[in-house]
Structure 1
């Protein structure tokens, strides 16, 4: 399993993350099988959120109910969770009270004394950075949260937080797949009038992350778009799947491994956040974490996904 630095935290973490947003209706045995497959493949990084599972903290509770981590096992795992989304409404809330109360709820649900990484889930238009800083300072001083980051944030939103927040923001979790790659695509074809890909729909988020040592965590790594179904074996993407099939045969890995490798091959040293409940898919993604795609292969996949390489 390839490992990458988590921002400036000093942690070296797996390039593949087990996201558990879909385990609420799984049996204890199914959750244990999923976790065993991840752990055995070197995927020892868990991604939770307070809103996952249909009711607050439900997926956090289900994991804890199914998997009783011993103290030594807990020390070997990086547990990340997120807060900030209020399902009723819905709306976002980065107030001091909301952040601190949700962390307390996550600590109880996870049966742990600390959260390794806390992410602010989606940008709050009404954010007051001083309130976020107050919450982070209190949680950090108490040892309840060790590291902090964000999700789905722009460079400007990150810089606004950093005006008040003293802790390093070590991660930004963003949607990225071969077919959903505005983080990459506009920069490849910049300065080309009349090419839709050249229109800036991104604000330099990936470059900003690299310049500021923020680890990008790619969510929905196999989704064609925004929850529009996976591109793997999808008839909408015949050319891409043909290339994936050829490279999978060439490297003797599942095609999902090649799709994973397209992300982990990038020099930004990104993490791939899985949303699957299939042990087989977890193992396949782990295989792809350090697959040595060549530049030519990486760009071929990019073109086959429908992007222009001038």
Structure 2
């Protein structure tokens, strides 16, 4: 599996991450088969969050693979914290408590990466900095990042946090590509895309922060997948055409479209189907041409100025 550096860190990670939000849809045997298949294919970066299944996803993951020192050594574990029932919480106390719970459920002594899940309106960055320092000194977390944050929110954290912000997990797919479209529709009256995120794509590239696209097959906010969807006939025709040219499935091309972007993103997969997983991973070996990338972009309804 092709790898990239995660942000400014020395950590080399696969170009795709395996998301574990839906792992409780599998039984223990199915979860073991899925995780071990991913590792055999070189996709050993697993993304979790403390709210996935209320913690059940992390528990099933570690139980299914029989987590021990040898197994742990072969994988890269990322988890997220900060979402609570009815609120977001980046307080020092909550971050530290959350990490302890994550480590206990994953049966590991450390996380390779911890992300702050969704922006907390009441964030006190000094507390975040104290929490990160404590976690780094104790060896419980090795690298830190964020999720769903805009440039100014990251800059506010960076004013106090001394550790590099290595990743920003953001919603991005062929049909949810406003962070790309806003950079194309610059200085345009009645632009087809409005810059609502402070040029987060360019900001992350400038600051060597790896973007981790989540829901790479979704349109809207968890409204459904665009592949094979009658709502997107032109897009599916174009993706199928490109897939045929490479001898792969439409699933492969949807991920290859994200990997073609020079930002060197790391899409987070959500499938729990082994065959679909393998199709996704094939994208690491495909580089779409510029023409193919733009053809797919326009087929999704995006208009060039």
TM over 0.5: yes
Alignment check: 8 A CA contact 1:177 1:223 kept: yes
Alignment check: 8 A CA contact 1:186 1:202 kept: no
In structure 1, the partner of 2:60 is 62
Alignment check: 8 A CA contact 1:85 1:91 kept: yes
In structure 2, the partner of 1:26 is 26
Alignment check: 8 A CA contact 1:264 1:290 kept: no
Q: 1:111 aligns with which of 101, 107, 122?
A: 107
Alignment check: 8 A CA contact 1:171 1:217 kept: yes
Check if 1:149 corresponds to 2:141.
no
Query: What secondary structure is seen at the aligned counterpart in 2 of 1:271?
Result: coil
Check if 1:50 corresponds to 2:50.
yes
Work out the CA distance in 2 between the residues paired with 1:247 and 1:41.
Answer: 24
Check if 1:309 corresponds to 2:299.
no
Query: What secondary structure is seen at the aligned counterpart in 2 of 1:227?
Result: coil
Work out the CA distance in 1 between the residues paired with 2:190 and 2:263.
Answer: 29
Per the TM alignment, residue 309 of structure 1 is displaced from its structure 2 partner at its CA by 1.6
1:258-277 map, 5 Å: 258-277=253-272
Per the TM alignment, residue 245 of structure 1 is displaced from its structure 2 partner at its CA by 0.6
Alignment check: 8 A CA contact 1:154 1:203 kept: yes
In structure 2, the partner of 1:10 is 10
Alignment check: 8 A CA contact 2:36 2:65 kept: no
Q: 1:71 aligns with which of 60, 63, 69?
A: 69
Check if 1:250 corresponds to 2:248.
no
Scaled by the length of structure 2, what TM-score is found? 0.98
Check if 1:132 corresponds to 2:128.
yes
Query: What secondary structure is seen at the aligned counterpart in 2 of 1:37?
Result: helix
Per the TM alignment, residue 195 of structure 1 is displaced from its structure 2 partner at its CA by 2.9
Work out the CA distance in 1 between the residues paired with 2:273 and 2:5.
Answer: 27
Stretches (4+) displaced over 6 A: none
Work out the CA distance in 2 between the residues paired with 1:242 and 1:190.
Answer: 29
Per the TM alignment, residue 4 of structure 1 is displaced from its structure 2 partner at its CA by 1.2
Per the TM alignment, residue 196 of structure 1 is displaced from its structure 2 partner at its CA by 2.9
Q: 2:160 aligns with which of 150, 161, 164?
A: 164
- 1:208-228 residue CA offsets vs partner (Å, 9 max, x unmatched): 001111000000000012101
Per the TM alignment, residue 70 of structure 1 is displaced from its structure 2 partner at its CA by 3.8
In structure 1, the partner of 2:40 is 40
Tell me the C-alpha RMSD between the 2 structures: 1.0
Per the TM alignment, residue 30 of structure 1 is displaced from its structure 2 partner at its CA by 0.9
Alignment check: 8 A CA contact 2:179 2:195 kept: no
Alignment check: 8 A CA contact 2:185 2:192 kept: no
Alignment check: 8 A CA contact 2:192 2:303 kept: no
